[in-house]
Each structure stands twice: as C-alpha cells, then as structure tokens.
Amino acid sequence: MLSMKHITKSFATDNVVTHALREINLDLAEGDFVSVTGPSGSGKTTFLNIAGLLESATAGEYWLDGEDISKLDDKGRSRMRNQKIGFIFQSFNLIPDLNLFDNVDVPLRYRGFNAAERKKRIEFHLEQVGLASRMKHLPSQLSGGQQQRVAIARALATSPRFLLADEPTGNLDSSMAQSVMALLEEINRAGTTILMVTHDNTLAAQAKRQIYIKDGRVQEITDNRNIHNLAVG
C-alpha cells in the first residue's frame, strides 16, 4: 500500500542545511491504522506532507499503491492526491464561503464526477457523519466537532484508499475528540488505511500501530495489536 525507503527531507539556506527527516523507512499495509507521535518540531508534519504528496522528499523512494511517486509531475501528484488520498486537517480547512454540500463537493469536482454522482456521494457521506440535515449550512454555523465531521465526509467522498489525518482532534474537546476518533476507527474497519499525526498519546494508542518520530528519525514503532516493541535501526 505505502512504502518509504530512505526518505530524507532537508531544507537548505545560504549557510545551513536543516534535516527535517532522515532515512525514514516505513511500510503500511492495506487496512493499517498508524498513528504518528513526537515532540513539536520532530518532523511529524513534514512526514505527513511527504506521505500525502503535499511536498516532495529530498531523497529516497516512495511508492504509493504501486506508483513511484518520484516519477510523477505536479499534475500526476494532484491526481494521486485526489484519487487515492483523503485529508483531514487539524483546523478542518473547510472553505468558509461554501456550504457543507459545496465543501464536500470540492474534491469531487476535481475528480470530474458528473452532478448526479457527486450529489449521491455528498449526501451519503454527510449522512454517514450525521450532518445530512445541515447541508446548506455554512461551516461557521457548526461546532468544531461538526466541522471536523464535514472534513471527514469531504475526505471520504472520493473513496480514497489512504486517509491522512493531521492532528484531527487537536482543536476539539475530549468528548468530540473521542467521537471523531470513533468515526476514524469505523472508517478503518471498513478498509481504509489511515495515517494519523497526533500529540495525544491516548488517541495514538487507539491506532493499530504507533510511530514515534524524534529529530527527523523514526525512533520506535509500537504494534498495539501485539503490544511489543520493534527496534528500528
């Protein structure tokens, strides 16, 4: 499903080269639910951005669903993001001037679905997150938890094989966070692979596997299914 080999990301200025990620090796199988934790500035977001094709690695190999990402141009990467990846952001990233229906519609239009297909998908996924009755509402008329649910509906609408969640509960209180987490688990049970960046160790522990990143390196991978640690060289 996802395979990273020796992924490195560095940022160079005139005098300094900063290594955000060093030699990341990771394989995700179909149906995995992996959480990524680590202190601030550890490289979690950079890792997520590279995994989600939001930015490119400086070196290394990255294969997603059988495609060599390094060979794709911007258009190809956009197509991959649209077809294979769903995104959930900490700040929800809903478009404030669009109602819920139009927000969920955004990736579907880029996909090129016809109006009937789009309508069917939007209604289905808003129903799935319990917001079908509020389709004409603007994001500002919803609570944070509800907005995140809309973002999840938007992420699911294109039927992605891989869901990337960047601190999905970071802006929510604990009950809303649990409710969103429950929804993610349900989505994972339905077969979608999930990679979730979080600060919250409790939530991280609910994933099937946990990755701990520090100083741009994967320090530890914990398999919560078997509760044992694997050392990473």
Cβ neighbours, 10 Å, residue 123: 15
Which CB sits closer to another protein, 99 or 222?
99
The CA distance from 188 to 211, in Å, is 17
Which CB sits closer to another protein, 149 or 154?
154
Which CB sits closer to another protein, 21 or 222?
21
Question: Looking at 68, 97, 117, 127, which residue binds another protein (CB under 8 A)?
Answer: 97
Question: Looking at 53, 69, 129, 183, which residue binds another protein (CB under 8 A)?
Answer: 53
Question: Looking at 34, 60, 81, 172, which residue binds another protein (CB under 8 A)?
Answer: 81
* Closest by CA position to 140, among listed 180, 179, 181, 100: 100
Pattern 129-168, binding to another protein, x per CB under 8 A? ---------x---------------x---x-------x--
With contacts defined by CB under 8 A, name the span among 27-35, 73-81, 200-208, 214-222 that binds another protein. 73-81
Q: 34 with 2: CB under 8 angstroms?
A: no
Q: Does 98 bind another protein (CB under 8 A)?
A: yes
Question: Looking at 1, 31, 65, 110, which residue binds another protein (CB under 8 A)?
Answer: 110
Location of structure tokens 């919560």? 224
Residues 162-221, interacting with another protein (CB under 8 A) = 166, 170
Q: Does 14 bind another protein (CB under 8 A)?
A: no
* Closest by CA position to 184, among listed 213, 220, 208, 210: 208
Question: Looking at 99, 192, 193, 198, which residue binds another protein (CB under 8 A)?
Answer: 99
* Closest by CA position to 198, among listed 207, 190, 185: 207
Secondary structure of 118-164 as H, E, C letters:
HHHHHHHHHHHCCCHHHCCCCHHHCCHHHHHHHHHHHHHHCCCCEEE
Complete edge-to-edge strand list for the sheet that includes strand 193-197: 85-88, 162-166, 193-197, 33-37, 209-214, 217-223, 228-231
DSSP of 34-92, one letter per residue?
EEEE--TTSSHHHHHHHHTTSS--SEEEEEETTEEGGG--HHHHHHHHHHHEEEE-TT-
Q: Does 71 bind another protein (CB under 8 A)?
A: no
Total interface residues for another protein by CB under 8 A: 38
Q: Does 83 bind another protein (CB under 8 A)?
A: yes
Question: Looking at 17, 74, 191, 233, which residue binds another protein (CB under 8 A)?
Answer: 74
Q: Does 10 bind another protein (CB under 8 A)?
A: no
Question: Looking at 5, 6, 109, 225, which residue binds another protein (CB under 8 A)?
Answer: 109
